[in-house]
Structure 1
């Protein structure tokens, strides 16, 4: 799978040597308007004989409206050096859409997400193109780079008929006006690194479960970790049994592909400013076990290790960015299968650390392996703990397919959710109502893995996890059941299949902690 190359260029977009020229369009009550950064292109069309700039008039005739993700292609007919102009919709300006109510930082984040989506849409539309030059970078350099790299993503590992188009090969990003060259290069390098980590997570998620199972997933995680210079530890089934990882062993016991637990650690350099624990759910395929799922759409359960993919990619990214944080990812990996050796409804599992859990539903498996991993992660005495998982269908019912639910200790939960929204990945702070905790009481064990009803399922799962978090540890749980895997058509920079959510959120949170504690 090839990755587009990027370069930062100066000068006029109108004279740039490229196969396609990307410009942005805004939508409005009076029709579309050119976004900032394309004035020289507009002037070139006017000089070639157009009226009122010419370019906008031609785009309007072609049906352009400027709505989000819209792509309109127009032959330049010599008005500019590139033979093709690609106008991509940004939607309404944030100040118009939000009616001036947003704080500047919120409006900036909204603009960045519009640029990111537009850049992704353009990159997808230009699959097979050799070279493009983009004016979107004049609006937001980092967002334009991230969007292009993510929009150009295609998972073609298993395509054998040669029908898949090659992605856009090269993107020249026009430097923002007045930008310091060194700062702009650093911004571009970081954006490429972050988007590269998202692509790493996507590749893991999209790998089919016959090739990505606990042992092979652990091997790939170890390879990624070693490549990033991380400390790597892999526990096999015998070591898990010796240490008492009852949740991981219980869930993974029904499969012939036995479980693993992987630990990847970035030291944070010479003087790490804080210690952060990352935990991700690594169910490489989830049938539901004895409490088996319906057959319809079970193929989507290849994505049940999206949380694990995200934290593996993120800890490697922390090392690549040389963040001054000690970051450790603890990743349990299992396959949840029905068989004669499966755990059963009614079983009692002794978790890592000693708590006991009565299993009432084997399809509530993620919280069991995460409980083991959270307790192990907390033994390192981190300053913060972040866990992410495709944990509950209730998340999708509550918040839809694009908004993650964020739970945990109040202040840190809100901090994480704020970064999720600012990065464009979406996240909403959710409560952990105390009245639901009693519904997890068990007649046999310390607690049950599910309640006896369907109400507040996402919140009950968060309450279950809270039972395993060390007292006083700031923590957040990000439920990505919907946002992690796109079962519909591609949009913006989001492809069909694995999305890589919440890698960009985690990267933003780690950067915030590195800078502010």
Structure 2
């Protein structure tokens, strides 16, 4: 039976039901497998239907319960559904494991009109993980396919849970849909070819997204305001970082500022995102192989925008001042040169030594604007340094800044299912960023070691001593390999869910 209104997203309806997975007539039933050769909670009725045959079946199809495993078994009438899908969960599965397993299931079930998910889901957190994982795992970017493949998305996905009738569970599903919408929109932007998402085009896309979200807000809901600063206004304001980075491109830079100000706000957060729509490296041109995915360099700005719009849709009681710093780092006759000195929005002079360390320059202007908004805290997010990828790999973000804010961001990431790790900003980094002989700050000092920490120290100089954290997402923002759990190939949308959870927690504090 239905315990809550079906939630429609695209062509797929998500519903909550208390039905038995062994009796449901969905065309496919998904259950979890644990390493000890038994089915996970939620699949008890399926295990009972198979009885003693279950262990032999699992052994035959190689289902050992390891994360990432997927096996499909025709049921032959043992249960009502014709197809049983077995997904590995690993030992002691938590929400993150369930999210990954649901994502794997989404790609395994094709051409089924209806799917029932009987994964561990006995509370709001797990139900939300099931919905998020299934939707994100089935994501595909097909905008540029001349003949897109026939959609295989089921018309109905049913989450089977014993708590289907609880209001907080229905609310968790609705929240999950909003988060997924934001992540999907971010993935779409990041996957878009850079020639089609130049800074002016990206700014237009942001303004259009704000307009669409505002139309769908309930009557009386706080709307999101948007202000797009073009190159003329940036020059008037003295945003030398954005203008310097964008000088080599035929597409001029933009600074997009969003404001969400609900009447019941109990906190004020500034979100700042790096939006380099393509990074050639400038005159410090990148090797060809390193340039191949540089359309991803605007992922931080996309995350900031979509997190703000999601907060408005969720009605979170937190004021948000968001800043998306957009520029294209190209080679041209006006491109900035090593040795140039730029003056940022707050009047700080910066000596440029490496034109491929451009992200910190556009963020300097955006952070200066954020400080003037007088928020309680600032969080910036950026695909900033290859050093962080070397340090943490391609699935972890590095988080630096004030201890309290760093801890809050990492906790938000854990709740969102996005992994992050705290990194230091050693005191001696302050000496390094002040090593220029001719300007207030050095943008780069040529020392190979600790480049990600140097970049964070540089950004800190523009935070006005406000509580602040910096997320370096250069690793997890783009999946260059095959799909894994709820992460598909290409843009991952990393950071959106973390920012939403961070804002949500500030509203609950």
* C-alpha contact (below 8 Å) 2:351/2:441 kept by paired residues: yes
Q: 2:39 aligns with which of 13, 18, 34?
A: 34
* 1:246-285 matches, cutoff 5 A: 246-267=240-261, 269-285=262-278
Please say if 1:186 is aligned against 2:191: no
* C-alpha contact (below 8 Å) 1:24/1:89 kept by paired residues: yes
Please say if 1:306 is aligned against 2:299: yes
* C-alpha contact (below 8 Å) 1:281/1:308 kept by paired residues: yes
Structure 1 residue aligned with 2:200 = 215
Residues 436-474 of structure 1 show CA distances to partners (whole Å, capped at 9, x for unaligned) of 221222111001111221110110000000000012x11
Structure 1 residue aligned with 2:403 = 410
Please say if 1:167 is aligned against 2:132: no
**C-alpha distance in structure 2 between counterparts of 1:127 and 1:387, whole Å:** 39
Structure 2 residue aligned with 1:125 = 108
**C-alpha distance in structure 2 between counterparts of 1:463 and 1:41, whole Å:** 55
Q: When the two structures are superposed, what TM-score results if normalisation uses the length of structure 2?
A: 0.93
**C-alpha distance in structure 2 between counterparts of 1:309 and 1:56, whole Å:** 47
* C-alpha contact (below 8 Å) 1:405/1:427 kept by paired residues: yes
Once the 2 structures are TM-superposed, how far is the Cα of residue 128 of structure 1 from its aligned partner?
3.4
* C-alpha contact (below 8 Å) 1:3/1:149 kept by paired residues: no
Residues 333-380 of structure 1 show CA distances to partners (whole Å, capped at 9, x for unaligned) of 100001101011000000001000000000000000001000101101
**C-alpha distance in structure 1 between counterparts of 2:249 and 2:10, whole Å:** 35
* C-alpha contact (below 8 Å) 2:34/2:89 kept by paired residues: yes
Once the 2 structures are TM-superposed, how far is the Cα of residue 266 of structure 1 from its aligned partner?
1.2
Structure 2 counterpart SS, 1:505: helix
Once the 2 structures are TM-superposed, how far is the Cα of residue 163 of structure 1 from its aligned partner?
3.7
Structure 2 residue aligned with 1:465 = 459
* C-alpha contact (below 8 Å) 1:154/1:167 kept by paired residues: no
Q: When the two structures are superposed, what TM-score results if normalisation uses the length of structure 1?
A: 0.92
Structure 2 counterpart SS, 1:205: helix
Judged with a 3 Å threshold, the aligned counterparts in structure 2 of structure 1 residues 37 and 158 are, in CA distance, closer, same or farther, namely: same
Structure 1 residue aligned with 2:3 = none
Mean alpha-carbon deviation: is it higher for 456-465 or for 34-43? 34-43
Structure 2 residue aligned with 1:155 = 141
**C-alpha distance in structure 2 between counterparts of 1:286 and 1:23, whole Å:** 43
Residues 67-98 of structure 1 show CA distances to partners (whole Å, capped at 9, x for unaligned) of 0011000001111121100000001125xxxx
Once the 2 structures are TM-superposed, how far is the Cα of residue 324 of structure 1 from its aligned partner?
0.4
Structure 2 residue aligned with 1:384 = 377
* C-alpha contact (below 8 Å) 2:282/2:356 kept by paired residues: yes
* 1:409-428 matches, cutoff 5 A: 409-428=402-421
* 1:233-382 matches, cutoff 5 A: 233-267=227-261, 269-382=262-375
* C-alpha contact (below 8 Å) 1:232/1:263 kept by paired residues: yes
* C-alpha contact (below 8 Å) 1:255/1:338 kept by paired residues: yes
Once the 2 structures are TM-superposed, how far is the Cα of residue 63 of structure 1 from its aligned partner?
1.2
Judged with a 3 Å threshold, the aligned counterparts in structure 2 of structure 1 residues 64 and 168 are, in CA distance, closer, same or farther, namely: same
* C-alpha contact (below 8 Å) 2:17/2:164 kept by paired residues: no
* C-alpha contact (below 8 Å) 2:18/2:164 kept by paired residues: no
Structure 1 residue aligned with 2:218 = none
Aligned length: 488
Residues 121-156 of structure 1 show CA distances to partners (whole Å, capped at 9, x for unaligned) of 000111433210001152521110110111111111
Please say if 1:12 is aligned against 2:6: no
**C-alpha distance in structure 1 between counterparts of 2:264 and 2:149, whole Å:** 50
* C-alpha contact (below 8 Å) 1:124/1:167 kept by paired residues: no
Structure 2 residue aligned with 1:43 = 48
Structure 1 residue aligned with 2:439 = 445
Structure 2 counterpart SS, 1:210: helix
* C-alpha contact (below 8 Å) 2:277/2:295 kept by paired residues: yes
Once the 2 structures are TM-superposed, how far is the Cα of residue 41 of structure 1 from its aligned partner?
1.4
Structure 1 counterpart SS, 2:136: helix
**C-alpha distance in structure 1 between counterparts of 2:182 and 2:111, whole Å:** 23
Q: Where do 5+ consecutive residues of structure 1 fail to align?
A: 47-51, 95-110
**C-alpha distance in structure 2 between counterparts of 1:178 and 1:40, whole Å:** 16
Once the 2 structures are TM-superposed, how far is the Cα of residue 328 of structure 1 from its aligned partner?
1.7
* C-alpha contact (below 8 Å) 1:353/1:375 kept by paired residues: yes
Judged with a 3 Å threshold, the aligned counterparts in structure 2 of structure 1 residues 217 and 3 are, in CA distance, closer, same or farther, namely: farther
* C-alpha contact (below 8 Å) 1:68/1:90 kept by paired residues: yes
Residues 204-231 of structure 1 show CA distances to partners (whole Å, capped at 9, x for unaligned) of 1011101111011001111111222210
* C-alpha contact (below 8 Å) 2:275/2:298 kept by paired residues: yes
Judged with a 3 Å threshold, the aligned counterparts in structure 2 of structure 1 residues 447 and 164 are, in CA distance, closer, same or farther, namely: farther
* C-alpha contact (below 8 Å) 1:123/1:168 kept by paired residues: no
**C-alpha distance in structure 2 between counterparts of 1:7 and 1:395, whole Å:** 41
Structure 1 counterpart SS, 2:458: helix
Once the 2 structures are TM-superposed, how far is the Cα of residue 161 of structure 1 from its aligned partner?
2.9
Structure 1 counterpart SS, 2:87: strand
Structure 1 residue aligned with 2:6 = none
Structure 2 counterpart SS, 1:18: coil
Residues 258-296 of structure 1 show CA distances to partners (whole Å, capped at 9, x for unaligned) of 1111011111x2221011100000000000001100011
Structure 2 residue aligned with 1:144 = 130
Judged with a 3 Å threshold, the aligned counterparts in structure 2 of structure 1 residues 2 and 248 are, in CA distance, closer, same or farther, namely: same
Structure 1 counterpart SS, 2:292: helix
Residues 190-211 of structure 1 show CA distances to partners (whole Å, capped at 9, x for unaligned) of 1111111111111110111011
Structure 2 counterpart SS, 1:419: helix
Judged with a 3 Å threshold, the aligned counterparts in structure 2 of structure 1 residues 3 and 458 are, in CA distance, closer, same or farther, namely: farther
Structure 2 counterpart SS, 1:263: strand
Mean alpha-carbon deviation: is it higher for 119-128 or for 319-328? 119-128
